[in-house]
Homo-oligomer: A and B are copies of this chain.
Amino acid sequence: MSAITPAYRIDDLFADRARKIAPPTYGTELTKIITVSLTYGLADPDLFPQADIAAATTAVLTNTAPAVLNYGPTSPQLYEQLSQRLQTQGIRADRDRLLISYGSAQILGLLPDVFIEPGDVVLIEGPSFLGAVGRFFNAGAKVITIPVDELGLDVDAVEATLIDLKKQGIRPRFIYTIPTFHNPTGSTMPLSRRKKLVALAAEYGVLVVEDDAYGDLRFHGESVPSLASLDEEGWVLYVSTFSKTIAPGVRIGWACGDPAIIERLAMFKSEGPVGPFVSHVIAHYCATGKLDTHIQELIAAYRHKCNLMLDAIAREFPSDVIAVKPDGGFFVWCKLPADMSAKAILTAASEHGVTFLPGTRCYANGQGDDAMRLAFSFQPSEKIVEGIATLGSVLREFRKS
């Protein structure tokens, strides 16, 4: 047999960045038969406003099909709706400070285009949402992990790092933070830390990227002002989404911040504005005024599921597995005692059909085998109870061995 070696290969044509790019690791799933996945922050499918979205679609197609179906900008009404929502929350949101995107993931994915050249320094939280962080790595960023505790990002550690970097002549590009109902820990940064972080951003000339995917879903307590609402000088880029409040499948997110940043994000958004069809549908849904009522329903439902999970954990887990009670969001973060490995527990639990996200998949620096992220958002109540019971028996087995 003789194989003819072709003179040219397709791969030779790839740019250097295309040779180096790594496929996302976030999202790989085990091949076992899983009966209760607590892994992903999926929305509860029983809570989608599908009838209202269908009605909104029919309405916009009946009344304004040319604007909805032809080439054109993202729905101006959606920009208006969003702007009003953000202003209500104390965030400056003029049209030139807003960019609607295909989910907040698109904004996070565009950040490297605007800010990162190979070797540039970015500060992230440990743990964090690696779906975003992976993009910073792909762009060649030098990523520094700052610890998160029960009050969110350790802002004193941020300051120490900024001082240290400044001594080396290094100005980081941005600090990526999830201050409210943090993913994965569920923690919420108090006002004092927020004020200090925003002040540090201005003092050191570093952008703060505030990912507020979960902020609308508060179960308990008083809301805390967003970093963006505390920012006078434009050092905060606010990023959020309708994925947790309307539906992830419609892919509507946004960024709000300095017009120069917004303009550049838009220029690197190479497919152009978010499509008229989906944006007009969501604008019409928002214009019905049903969203705020819907969010109240979501809060009640997710609060119930969160409490159910916390109660089950209290019953089923060894007492030295510490569950962090969140004030909102989709996740319960569990810290494991020193003799337990999240990865080993995951392997054992998946044999019994239960999965979760091991802490190792929330850290960019190899940490995290001492923690588990349990999503209560997706599973129905009885499956949450069943999953935690199974996980409890696996944990007790580990304790015995």
Question: Please, how many angstroms separate the alpha-carbon atoms of A275 and B271 in the complex?
Answer: 14
Interface residues of A in 304-334 (CB under 8 A from B): none
Question: Please, how many angstroms separate the alpha-carbon atoms of A278 and B250 in the complex?
Answer: 7
The answer to whether A48 and B66 touch across the interface, beta carbons within 8 angstroms, is: yes
Contact size class for A?
Answer: 35 or more
A160: CB under 8 A from chain B?
Answer: no
Interface residues of A in 240-278 (CB under 8 A from B): 243, 247-251, 258, 260-261, 263-264, 267-268, 270-272, 274-278
A344: CB under 8 A from chain B?
Answer: no
Q: Which residues of B contact A261 (CB under 8 A)?
A: 10
The answer to whether A69 and B42 touch across the interface, beta carbons within 8 angstroms, is: no
A371: CB under 8 A from chain B?
Answer: no
Question: Please, how many angstroms separate the alpha-carbon atoms of A42 and B202 in the complex?
Answer: 45
The answer to whether A248 and B50 touch across the interface, beta carbons within 8 angstroms, is: no
Residues of A within 8 A of B (CB): 6-18, 21-24, 40, 42-43, 45, 48, 50-51, 53-54, 57-58, 61-62, 65-72, 101-103, 105-106, 108-110, 112-117, 120, 135, 171, 173-174, 202, 204-207, 233-235, 243, 247-251, 258, 260-261, 263-264, 267-268, 270-272, 274-278, 280
Known: A23-B267, A53-B277. 4 other contacts (CB 8 A): A53-B57, A57-B57, A58-B58, A102-B275
* CB-CB nearest 3 A-B residue pairs: A8-B205, A109-B270, A106-B271
User: Can you list 17 contacts pairing A with B, beta carbon distance less than 8 Å?
Assistant: A8-B202, A15-B115, A21-B267, A43-B71, A45-B65, A45-B69, A50-B68, A51-B61, A54-B62, A69-B247, A103-B272, A105-B270, A105-B272, A108-B270, A109-B271, A135-B270, A275-B278
